[in-house]
Each structure stands twice: as structure tokens, then as C-alpha cells.
């Protein structure tokens, strides 16, 4: 789309008139920086505000756009009063008093996802869920590449949404968090999905109903809904007026696992597509992720051959059920990306028997850790707990399995080495965020992998 068409859409949808708009970009992280660059390209007047004294991208912004006003060290209410529009980064709560005050006075809120939706006329796939969204996003991207489609993937994962925009792109695949969706009103994706729902981010929401409501925004508009029939909360999101495709591990979901004399197959209705044992990603949760990707790909007309090629070659994401080493008959698995209870349960269910030494803990984000109990009792031989909410997990387990509080990840690896026998699996699947002890889950996963390899 050309610049004039984009500006007309922004004016129509958000009353954003270039000659009079004063946009305040709230937050100077990756998303805020991408918004700043894009507004500059459209010649829209804006300023940037960040509560931190030295935001991560402050120097980069000032180097490339020295004339842009940047205010740091707090949220000055007068800045919000001067704005006609605000673009609030996902890391900042919409409940901040200055933001609520601005909205009550008629300041218009829009997101980077809204701006992207107003800037492209190619199909958009929108993917959210408590778990699996990064896997499905990257897998679907590989399917599109295998079909020779010029595809851009990003959003919550990797590249910020506005940095993806190009006239050459034929398909946009967006991973979207609840934080992005709660401030997005104009997405109207060609196809969207909520992969699953489990407790997450309850430190930012009033409860599960509020969290689910934000996830459901991925279905705003008139696009095809891809529904997980195995998840009761997702199943409630169905709308009889909309076109839907379902997926789930069992028939009668449109995409399901079919049992045959020759083995188990990914299938569409009665048609066998690919043998499960040809997948490189392991576990029932990844079978569900593969089915979801097939359903999404069908809607945007990817060829089945290309999708199967990608499924047979896709190795999964780093820090997500990533094999690290086999040391004297003990397998070490890095699942640091399991930052909530649902992800940890999915990881545990990927293994047979009660052979797991589980390392869990961190910032529980006010989640109810007792929900882990059935899977822990069935799968875990010993639980090693680390981080800020280690005691919370220990209390939830209530001596039903052996629990050792070790404090740090480094100590957990050393302890696991001492107690592991041939046939054990040492699994880092924390069920918690990492920010109490690490910058992010990636740093936590790298630390684990490094400590394990030092044992070799």
C-alpha cells in the first residue's frame, strides 16, 4: 500500500489526521522503537515517553532521529494531556493511572498491530494462546517458505510487527500476546487462533476471565476461526456466524490424529496426511501444534506437500523441549520457555513413565501451582525448586513427591547430576517466568545448557 492509502485508513479508523495528530509513543523497547520509525516514515508528529531513566533503545533513537522529543524517568501527566493518540507498548499496563486518565479525556489508543492492519492488504494470520504460539508461528512460517510464499513472521516473537511491512510480502504471520491483543481493535485477520488457555499473567489481569477476554480479541473481525476442541475455554469462543476449522488430538475435529494399523497419522477428516513418527518435534502438545499449523495453512492456501515437507524438517525452537546432552545414560532437556503451568504440564506429558527429575521455579506470576500436582505425581521422580517462588511450589506439592529447594539453577544442575541414574530425564521446565534471576527465559536456558555441557 502507498503512504496516502495508509494515512486514509488511519484517519478513517482512528481519526488520526496527519496535519493535526500528536502521537505519544509510550515505552521505548523494541516495539516502541519500531513505532517511532514507522511514524517517522509517515511524517506523523510524535514524542516518546518512558518511565525508565535510560531505556534500552534511547541512544539508537536519538542517533537516527535527533529531533524527536524523548522524555524519560517517569510518566508526566502533562505529556498525555497534550496527545491526541497514544501507542502503548505491550510491556506497560493499560491500567497505569496516566493512561486511564488520558483515555477518559478522549485520547485515542491504538497499537502497533492496529497500525500494521491499516498498512497492508495481504493476508494476516494471527496466533495466540498460553502455550505453543511461538512454535506454531515459526512452523507455519517454514510451511509458507516451503511453498515459495514470501512470508514475514513476527509480532510478539522476534521482529516487531511494523518492521515486517514490505510491498514484497505476500503473507504476514503474527504471534500475539494477551498484552498486544488487549490494546488492538482493528486486526481483522484472515485467520486467527487461540491455541489453548491456561493460567498466565494473572499479575496483570483481574482474573482468568479478564485474561481470556483479551485472548479472544484475536477473533475480532470476520476471518476464519481455528478452534482447539480439546480446550474447554477455547471451545466457548465459537461463533455460529463465522467460518471455523477445528483441530484436536481426536476425531471429530477436522484436523486430528488418526489411529491405523500402520501407526498414528496427522489427518484431515478421513484423509491421512503424515505419520506422527515423521515429526521431529516430540510430545502430544507438539502434535496439536502441528495440527493447528495445518489448519491455518489450509485457510491461506498453502499446499499440503509444502506443509508436510516443513513438518518433516522442523526441529523446533531453542529453549523449547531442546535436547542438550546425554551424559552417561541421563538425558538433559532445556524447556526454559515453559514460563507457565500449562507449558510445564505439556512438557511432562511428552515423556513416558516416572523418570523425570524436574527443575522448576522462578516468578510464578500469582498462578496456582497446585494445578501441577497430577502431572508431577504421575511423571516426576524428584522436584528441584529454584527462584523467588520456590517455597510456593514446595507448599503446593505438600510432600506428595520428593522436593529439594536448591535456590539457583547452577546448584540445581549439580544436584541433578548427583541424584540422576541411567534412564532419568533431567528436565528444566520452570512453570514460572525467569525475571527474578535472569533477564529472560533465553538467558535462563543458555545458563542451563552451559552448566550441563560443563558436566561432560
Residue 297 has pLDDT above 80, yes or no: yes
Q: What is the DSSP letter of 256?
A: E
| Per-residue pLDDT tens over the stretch 15-33 | 999 999 999 999 999 999 9
| 431 strand-pairing partners | none
Residue 295 has pLDDT above 80, yes or no: yes
Among the options 85, 122, 196, 201, which is catalytic?
Answer: 201
* Matching fold, domains 3-110 and 322-453: no
pLDDT at 210: 92
Bridge-based pairing of strands 271-275 and 263-268 is antiparallel
Using pLDDT thresholds of 50, 70 and 90, give the confidence band for residue 203. confident
Mean pLDDT computed over every residue of the chain:
95
Residue 456 has pLDDT above 90, yes or no: no
Candidate from 191-205, 361-375, 418-432 with smallest mean pLDDT: 191-205
Query: What integer is the mean pLDDT of 189-218?
Result: 89
pLDDT at 426: 97
| Per-residue pLDDT tens over the stretch 302-361 | 999 999 999 999 988 889 888 899 999 999 999 999 999 989 998 998 888 899 999 999
pLDDT at 56: 85
**Quick one: CA torsion of 276, 280, 283, 289, rounded to 10 degrees?**
-80
**Helix 409-419 and helix 441-453: axis angle, to 10°?**
40
Nine cell digits for residue 83: 496527545
Among the listed residues 227, 235, 349, the one whose alpha carbon sits nearest the alpha carbon of residue 284: 349
Nine cell digits for residue 399: 510432600
CATH fold group of domain 3-110? Rossmann fold (3.40.50)
Residue 201 has pLDDT above 80, yes or no: no
| Per-residue pLDDT tens over the stretch 50-100 | 999 999 899 999 999 999 999 999 999 999 999 999 999 998 999 999 999
pLDDT at 200: 73
Q: What is the DSSP letter of 363?
A: B
Residues 98, 80: contact at Cβ < 8 Å?
yes
Residues 49, 71: contact at Cβ < 8 Å?
yes
* Residue 362 vs residues 179, 327, 430, 431: alpha-carbon distances, Å: 21, 26, 7, 8
Share of the chain above pLDDT 90, in %: 88
- Residue 33's SS3 state is helix
Q: Would residue 319 show up in a list of annotated catalytic residues for this protein?
A: no
Among the options 85, 122, 133, 379, which is catalytic?
Answer: 133
Candidate from 164-173, 344-353, 446-455 with smallest mean pLDDT: 344-353
Residues 87, 111: contact at Cβ < 8 Å?
yes
Distance CA 268, CA 226 (A): 14
User: Residues 6, 7, 10, 12: is their CA dihedral positive or negative?
Assistant: negative
Nine cell digits for residue 300: 491461506
| Per-residue pLDDT tens over the stretch 143-168 | 999 999 999 999 998 899 999 999 99
pLDDT at 318: 85
Residue for grid cell 489453548: 196
Residues 198, 166: contact at Cβ < 8 Å?
no
Nine cell digits for residue 21: 495528530
pLDDT at 207: 86
Burial of 214 (0-12, 13-18, 19+ CB in 10 A): buried
* Residue 142 vs residues 76, 156, 157, 167, 277: alpha-carbon distances, Å: 44, 17, 15, 20, 19
CATH fold group of domain 322-453? 3.90.190
Q: List the beta strands (DSSP E) in 176-247.
A: 191-194, 224-228, 244-247
pLDDT at 261: 94
Among the options 85, 122, 156, 337, which is catalytic?
Answer: 156
Distance CA 176, CA 187 (A): 11
Residues 160, 31: contact at Cβ < 8 Å?
yes
Q: What is the DSSP letter of 372?
A: G
Q: List the beta strands (DSSP E) in 133-209.
A: 151-155, 171-175, 191-194
Q: Would residue 201 show up in a list of annotated catalytic residues for this protein?
A: yes
Extents of the domains making up the chain: 3-110, 115-313, 322-453
Distance CA 337, CA 33 (A): 25
Q: Classify the phi-psi angles of 434: left when phi > 0, otherwise alpha if psi is within -120 to 50, otherwise beta.
A: alpha
pLDDT at 289: 96
Q: List the beta strands (DSSP E) in 278-366.
A: 322-327, 330-334, 356-361
- Residue 445's SS3 state is helix
Using pLDDT thresholds of 50, 70 and 90, give the confidence band for residue 398. confident
293: cis peptide before it, omega within 30°? no
- Residue 265's SS3 state is strand
pLDDT at 317: 83
Query: What integer is the mean pLDDT of 95-118?
Result: 97
CATH architecture of 115-313: 3-Layer(aba) Sandwich (3.40)
Q: What is the largest CA-CA distance in the chain?
A: 70
Q: Is the pTM of this model over 0.85?
A: no
Amino acid at each position: 500500500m502507498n503512504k496516502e492509502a495508509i494515512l486514509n485508513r488511519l484517519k478513517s479508523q482512528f481519526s488520526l489526521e496527519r496535519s493535526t495528530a500528536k502521537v505519544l509513543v509510550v515505552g521505548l523497547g523494541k516495539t516502541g522503537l519500531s513505532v517511532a520509525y514507522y511514524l517517522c516514515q509517515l511524517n506523523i508528529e510524535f514524542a516518546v515517553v518512558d518511565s525508565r531513566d535510560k531505556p534500552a533503545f534511547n541512544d539508537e533513537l536519538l542517533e537516527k532521529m535527533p529531533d524527536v522529543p524523548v522524555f524519560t524517568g517517569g510518566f508526566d501527566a502533562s505529556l498525555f494531556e497534550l496527545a491526541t493518540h497514544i501507542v502503548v507498548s505491550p510491556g506497560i499496563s493499560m491500567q497505569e493511572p496516566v493512561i486511564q486518565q488520558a483515555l477518559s479525556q478522549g485520547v485515542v489508543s491504538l497499537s502497533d498491530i492496529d497500525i500494521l492492519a491499516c498498512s497492508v492488504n495481504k493476508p494476516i494470520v494471527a496466533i495466540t494462546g498460553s502455550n505453543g504460539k511461538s512454535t506454531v508461528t515459526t512452523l507455519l512460517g517454514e510451511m509458507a517458505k516451503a511453498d515459495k510464499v514470501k512470508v514475514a513472521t513476527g509480532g510478539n516473537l522476534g521482529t516487531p510487527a511494523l518492521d515486517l511491512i514490505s510491498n514484497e510480502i505476500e503473507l504476514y504471520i503474527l504471534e500475539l500476546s494477551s498484552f498486544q491483543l488487549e490494546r488492538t481493535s482493528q486486526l481483522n485477520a484472515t485467520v486467527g487462533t487461540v491455541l489453548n488457555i491456561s493460567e498466565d499473567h494473572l499479575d496483570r489481569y483481574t482474573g482468568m476471565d479478564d485474561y481470556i477476554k483479551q485472548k479472544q480479541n484475536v477473533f475480532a473481525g470476520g476471518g476464519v476461526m481455528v478452534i482447539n476442541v480439546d480446550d474447554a475455554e477455547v471451545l466457548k469462543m465459537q461463533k455460529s456466524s463465522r467460518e471455523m476449522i477445528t483441530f484436536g488430538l481426536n476425531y471429530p475435529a477436522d484436523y486430528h490424529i488418526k489411529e491405523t494399523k500402520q501407526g498414528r497419522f496427522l489427518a484431515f477428516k478421513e484423509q491421512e496426511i503424515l505419520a506422527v513418527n515423521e515429526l521431529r518435534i516430540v510430545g502430544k502438545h507438539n502434535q496439536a501444534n502441528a495440527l493447528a499449523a495445518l489448519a491455518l495453512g489450509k485457510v491461506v492456501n498453502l499446499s499440503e506437500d509444502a506443509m508436510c515437507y516443513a513438518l518433516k524438517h522442523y526441529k523446533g525452537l531453542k529453549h523449547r523441549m531442546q535436547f542438550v546432552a546425554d551424559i552417561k545414560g541421563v538425558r538433559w532437556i532445556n524447556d526454559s520457555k515453559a514460563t507457565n503451568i500449562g507449558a510445564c504440564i505439556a512438557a511432562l506429558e511428552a515423556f513416558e513413565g516416572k523418570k523425570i527429575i524436574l527443575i522448576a521455579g522462578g516468578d510464578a506470576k500469582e498462578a496456582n501451582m497446585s494445578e501441577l500436582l497430577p502431572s508431577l505425581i504421575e511423571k516426576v521422580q524428584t522436584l528441584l525448586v529454584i527462584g523467588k517462588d520456590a517455597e510456593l511450589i514446595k507448599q503446593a506439592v505438600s510432600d506428595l513427591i520428593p522436593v529439594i529447594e536448591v535456590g539457583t539453577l547452577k546448584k540445581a544442575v549439580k544436584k541433578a547430576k548427583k541424584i540422576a541414574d541411567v534412564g532419568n530425564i533431567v528436565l528444566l521446565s520452570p512453570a514460572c517466568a525467569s525475571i527474578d534471576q535472569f533477564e529472560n527465559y533465553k538467558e535462563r536456558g543458555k545458563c542451563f545448557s552451559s552448566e550441563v555441557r560443563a558436566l561432560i
